[in-house]
Structure 1
Amino acid sequence: MLVAILLRIVIFGMPEASLFQVGYACLAAFASSLIGVLLIENVNRYPGVERASAIVPSFALAYGLIAIGLLMFKLDYSRFVLIGSFVAVVLLSYLEHFRYKDELVLRISVLAQPDGAALPQLPSIDWLKHSDHAGFDHADAIAVDFRLPLTDRQSEMLADAALAGIPVYNLRHLIESVTGEVTLEHISETAYGSLTPSPVYQTIKHVLDRLIALVVLIPLLPFLFLAGIAIKLDSPGPMIFRQSRMGYRAQPFTVYKFRTMQHCTAPTPAGLDDLVTKDADARVTRIGRIFRRTRVDELPQIVNILLGQMSWIGPRPEAEKLSRWYEEEIPYYRYRHVVRPGISGWAQTVQGHVADVDSVSTKLNHDFFYIKNFSLWLDLLILAKTLRVMVSGFGSK
């Protein structure tokens, strides 16, 4: 930021009238930097996020929000200083990241784990097998499965580690945080409330969802109209696909999407196989493949958001018939309906479409992870991942 200010003075000089502009720009840059760092630190704790990839989006969002605030309050500021500080803080963040990159690998000592349980192999974690006769000198943290009984010796070692300032984690929670999956094995595991999301954030999110939907729908109408024409020209049938899906609190509702598959005029209801979209599905139209890859087919669900049936971010709603079948086959499947379904969700950004029961079980674990970590930070991360897919098509199925 100081470099940007000095360049501004050297190149353009410093007339007295511009002191206020530079002052506002410095305050804005300071606030933007704090928000950007806060975003990086909170988003970086979720699985699949590389710190380097979060730097530019986080600071861009922070500076963008502050710039909007400056415009709303009609404050005149030095754009040169603000943009220069953005470039400087991004470069410094990358330099810091690559300087300490080798130190980002955590050495975690596993004190107790179930027999035969596999630990996820990740480049950011070095799992250390621990012996009761060894210490924790080379460990950055300790992981323990507290469902297992601990010996007196192990309890003493944990106490000594805590006194030495070595963090002790619940092994299961740690695995959830690095894999992005939460597995329910017993109904008692929901007793601590982790699958009951914050009612305050849920209410705030619901209000913001509908306000944002109202704001973006009008400017999107011309694009939606052109997308509908493209569908009609590509294949016969309606522009909009309607389907009964399972929604919030297990209440069915009608979802709206752009039609991406060949229109079926058969009067008989579809079977379960017909309700599941497979990879390279022959029923998908040419324009449908493009819409699916970029998520454009989901845009009519803005209407569902305005009606209060959906959210921008949340578990994807399944067809009602398919959902009821999953409930019979997969334990605790109904718990995913504790939050409003979304246009995009955690499972969709990390897994994509699913076509069999095993994949659905994994998807359900991702949904439970979202519900357990229900927060603004996770929603922002999912939004960033979704925008990346819409722009590049990378990561979609």
Structure 2
Amino acid sequence: MDPTLVGTTATVAERGGIRVPWRFIVGRAAFYLFTAWAAITINFFLPRMMKGDAVDAYMARSQGQLPPEAEKALRALFGLDKSVPLWQQYFDYWGRLLHGDLGLSISTGMAPVGQAIASALPWTLGLVGVATIISFLVGTVLGAVIGWRRGGRLDALVPVTTFMGTVPYFWLGLIFIAVFSTIMGWFPAGHAYEVGVETGWNTEFIGQVISHAALPVITIVIASIGGWVLGMRNMMLTVLDEDYITVAQAKGMPNKRVLWRYAARNAVLPQIQSFALALGFIVGGTIVMEMVFSYPGIGLLLLSATNAKDYALMQGIFLVLVLAVLVANILADIAYAILDPRTRQTEA
């Protein structure tokens, strides 16, 4: 039994066991289902509110080489037949969606949307995902240490990292390309790997992927770490004034245990929600970064789909993004319940 919890409600909860908060779970499930339905519905109607569509853009690019019958067939194929009422298109869209059919992408040579997303998604997850996790872990740990040693020399890192966070991603990326790629030649300037390299689980290809992703990862980490450092430091300053920290120190606990077991554990809770949202938006990628480094991720794919008015591909990417954000929020709720016993008591 933790000596700092003796006589508290947490002790009673620990002795009696943790009750499963079914009402909370059902309420959360209903909320997330409603959110998913609303997001998918908006995902269907929003592209159709734009001027023109994918078939119009495709016919314009063909410069009159396709007969009118081809346009009618394409509209029927992509679910954009203007003779079909919008509500019928909406229910047809749900029917295809429930069967796992995301449609065909007109901007990728009539390839299935799922296949187009699957080819780009791993690159974004590997690039932006690794960068986000590194920046969160390093920024949170650094912010906790700076907050614990407030008034020390490490405080000078806060304005430095905050300033780097105000520099736009693309500008920082261009500077790094000029310095570390063009002048020093340490890293490749762009793309995911060199042309002609055999793809697969071989040493040469893996080395190419790591070397090409290093500079974008460094850019994202440096540009985003300031927010994590500042947020964790400010929360640490608030938590260190709490009574339970004073009690723990008065009982003679080692400073490392007080820092990581009590102070940092409570200070990190607000960071969890931000981190969950950041993980969810990883799927969306960083469009500007992928453009600067010519990286074949989901963000660059979304930009191409938007320019081509490729409804099916846009809807597929947005659907994956929505589901990723919802899953990230569910994981954040679970993390809250694990890290903060008070959450479990209240919900139970």
TM-score normalised to structure 2 length: 0.29
- Structure with the bigger percentage of strand: 1
Q: Which of 1 and 2 has higher RCO (CA within 8 Å, sep 6+)?
A: 2
- Structure with the bigger percentage of helix: 2
